[in-house]
Protein backbone atom coordinates (compact mmCIF):
# COMPACT_ATOMS: atom_id res chain seq x y z
CA UNK A 1 0.00 0.00 0.00
CA UNK A 2 1.32 3.41 -0.89
CA UNK A 3 -0.27 6.48 0.64
CA UNK A 4 -0.26 9.67 -1.37
CA UNK A 5 1.33 13.00 -0.39
CA UNK A 6 -2.04 14.46 0.58
CA UNK A 7 -2.44 11.78 3.25
CA UNK A 8 1.00 12.51 4.66
CA UNK A 9 0.13 16.20 4.83
CA UNK A 10 -3.22 15.38 6.45
CA UNK A 11 -1.42 13.35 9.14
CA UNK A 12 0.83 16.34 9.82
CA UNK A 13 -2.08 18.77 9.90
CA UNK A 14 -4.12 16.70 12.35
CA UNK A 15 -1.08 15.97 14.52
CA UNK A 16 -0.31 19.69 14.69
CA UNK A 17 -3.88 20.46 15.74
CA UNK A 18 -3.83 17.58 18.24
CA UNK A 19 -0.95 19.21 20.07
CA UNK A 20 -2.99 22.35 20.70
CA UNK A 21 -5.69 22.75 23.34
CA UNK A 22 -8.88 21.19 21.98
CA UNK A 23 -10.96 23.74 20.10
CA UNK A 24 -8.11 26.16 19.42
CA UNK A 25 -8.35 27.67 15.95
CA UNK A 26 -5.46 28.06 13.53
CA UNK A 27 -5.56 29.82 10.18
CA UNK A 28 -4.71 27.88 7.06
CA UNK A 29 -1.75 30.17 6.43
CA UNK A 30 -0.24 29.56 9.85
CA UNK A 31 -0.79 25.82 9.63
CA UNK A 32 0.70 25.71 6.13
CA UNK A 33 3.76 27.69 7.25
CA UNK A 34 4.39 25.70 10.40
CA UNK A 35 3.95 22.30 8.74
CA UNK A 36 5.68 23.25 5.47
CA UNK A 37 2.65 22.44 3.32
CA UNK A 38 1.70 24.50 0.25
CA UNK A 39 -1.30 26.55 1.39
CA UNK A 40 -3.47 25.81 -1.64
CA UNK A 41 -2.86 22.08 -1.19
CA UNK A 42 -3.57 22.37 2.54
CA UNK A 43 -6.93 24.01 1.83
CA UNK A 44 -7.84 21.23 -0.62
CA UNK A 45 -6.95 18.55 1.94
CA UNK A 46 -8.81 20.46 4.63
CA UNK A 47 -12.04 20.16 2.63
CA UNK A 48 -11.74 16.37 2.82
CA UNK A 49 -11.05 16.47 6.56
CA UNK A 50 -14.02 18.75 7.13
CA UNK A 51 -16.32 16.54 5.04
CA UNK A 52 -15.22 13.56 7.15
CA UNK A 53 -16.05 15.41 10.37
CA UNK A 54 -12.42 15.48 11.55
CA UNK A 55 -11.90 19.24 11.25
CA UNK A 56 -14.24 22.20 11.21
CA UNK A 57 -13.83 25.64 9.71
CA UNK A 58 -14.73 29.09 10.93
CA UNK A 59 -15.30 32.02 8.60
CA UNK A 60 -14.64 35.67 9.15
CA UNK A 61 -12.01 37.78 10.84
CA UNK A 62 -11.53 35.26 13.64
CA UNK A 63 -11.78 32.36 11.22
CA UNK A 64 -9.58 29.35 10.85
CA UNK A 65 -9.72 25.65 11.50
CA UNK A 66 -9.97 23.47 14.57
CA UNK A 67 -10.41 19.81 15.34
CA UNK A 68 -14.03 18.71 15.29
CA UNK A 69 -13.32 15.65 17.44
CA UNK A 70 -11.00 14.99 20.34
CA UNK A 71 -7.60 13.58 19.26
CA UNK A 72 -8.40 10.33 21.10
CA UNK A 73 -11.34 9.88 18.72
CA UNK A 74 -9.31 10.32 15.52
CA UNK A 75 -7.28 7.41 14.18
CA UNK A 76 -4.77 7.15 11.37
CA UNK A 77 -7.36 5.08 9.52
CA UNK A 78 -9.85 7.96 9.79
CA UNK A 79 -7.38 10.24 8.03
CA UNK A 80 -6.64 7.72 5.28
CA UNK A 81 -10.33 7.19 4.64
CA UNK A 82 -10.99 10.93 4.59
CA UNK A 83 -8.25 11.68 2.07
CA UNK A 84 -7.99 8.51 -0.01
CA UNK A 85 -11.21 6.61 0.61
CA UNK A 86 -11.14 2.95 1.50
CA UNK A 87 -7.67 1.49 1.10
CA UNK A 88 -7.22 -2.13 0.09
CA UNK A 89 -4.06 -4.11 -0.41
CA UNK A 90 -5.45 -6.01 -3.36
CA UNK A 91 -8.32 -5.28 -5.72
CA UNK A 92 -10.03 -8.64 -5.27
CA UNK A 93 -10.55 -7.81 -1.58
CA UNK A 94 -13.25 -5.34 -2.57
CA UNK A 95 -14.16 -6.60 -6.06
CA UNK A 96 -14.10 -10.41 -6.26
CA UNK A 97 -15.15 -10.25 -9.89
CA UNK A 98 -11.95 -8.42 -10.82
CA UNK A 99 -9.82 -11.56 -10.50
CA UNK A 100 -8.31 -12.42 -13.88
CA UNK A 101 -8.00 -16.01 -12.73
CA UNK A 102 -11.80 -16.11 -12.31
CA UNK A 103 -11.63 -17.61 -8.83
CA UNK A 104 -14.01 -14.95 -7.49
CA UNK A 105 -11.83 -14.12 -4.51
CA UNK A 106 -11.37 -17.69 -3.35
CA UNK A 107 -7.69 -18.53 -3.47
CA UNK A 108 -4.82 -18.80 -1.02
CA UNK A 109 -3.42 -15.38 -1.94
CA UNK A 110 -6.80 -13.71 -1.42
CA UNK A 111 -7.24 -15.40 1.95
CA UNK A 112 -3.77 -14.34 3.12
CA UNK A 113 -4.23 -10.77 1.89
CA UNK A 114 -7.59 -10.54 3.65
CA UNK A 115 -5.99 -11.51 6.96
CA UNK A 116 -3.19 -8.97 6.45
CA UNK A 117 -5.71 -6.29 5.43
CA UNK A 118 -7.74 -6.88 8.59
CA UNK A 119 -4.63 -6.69 10.78
CA UNK A 120 -3.55 -3.48 9.07
CA UNK A 121 -6.97 -1.90 9.59
CA UNK A 122 -6.94 -2.88 13.27
CA UNK A 123 -3.47 -1.41 13.74
CA UNK A 124 -4.36 1.85 12.01
CA UNK A 125 -7.52 2.16 14.08
CA UNK A 126 -5.54 1.67 17.28
CA UNK A 127 -3.16 4.56 16.54
CA UNK A 128 -5.00 7.68 17.65
CA UNK A 129 -3.84 11.25 17.54
CA UNK A 130 -3.74 11.68 21.31
CA UNK A 131 -1.09 8.93 21.35
CA UNK A 132 0.76 10.48 18.41
CA UNK A 133 0.68 13.93 20.03
CA UNK A 134 2.05 12.54 23.29
CA UNK A 135 4.91 10.84 21.44
CA UNK A 136 5.57 13.96 19.36
CA UNK A 137 5.97 16.03 22.54
CA UNK A 138 8.61 13.56 23.79
CA UNK A 139 10.43 13.67 20.45
CA UNK A 140 10.43 17.48 20.44
CA UNK A 141 11.78 17.57 24.01
CA UNK A 142 14.53 15.13 23.07
CA UNK A 143 15.45 17.23 20.03
CA UNK A 144 15.61 20.38 22.16
CA UNK A 145 17.91 18.65 24.64
CA UNK A 146 20.39 17.77 21.88
CA UNK A 147 20.08 20.97 19.88
CA UNK A 148 23.34 22.95 20.00
CA UNK A 149 22.93 26.32 21.66
CA UNK A 150 23.92 29.31 19.53
CA UNK A 151 26.18 31.91 21.05
CA UNK A 152 25.31 34.83 18.84
pLDDT tens-digit readout, 26-44? 999 999 999 999 999 999 9
End-to-end CA distance of the chain: 47
Burial-class residue 59 by CB neighbours within 10 Å (0-12, 13-18, 19+).
Answer: exposed
Structure confidence by residue, pLDDT tens digits, 112-148: 888 888 899 899 999 999 999 999 999 998 888 877 6
How many DSSP H helices and E strands does the chain contain? 6, 2
The region, left, alpha or beta by phi > 0 then psi within -120 to 50, assigned to residue 64 is left
CA distance 46 to 40: 10
CATH class of 5-86+117-146: mainly alpha
Where in the chain are the domains?
Answer: 5-86+117-146
**Cα separation, 100 vs 115, whole angstroms:** 21
Percent of the chain with pLDDT over 90: 64
- Residue 45: what pLDDT? 97
Choice between 76 and 121, residue whose per-residue pLDDT is larger: 76
CA–CA separation, 103 and 124 (whole Å): 29
Amino acid sequence: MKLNQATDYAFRMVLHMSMLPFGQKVTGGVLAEQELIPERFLLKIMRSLIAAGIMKSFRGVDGGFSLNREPKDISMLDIIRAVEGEAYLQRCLYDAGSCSKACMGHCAVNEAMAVIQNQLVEQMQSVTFDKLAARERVILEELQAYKPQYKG
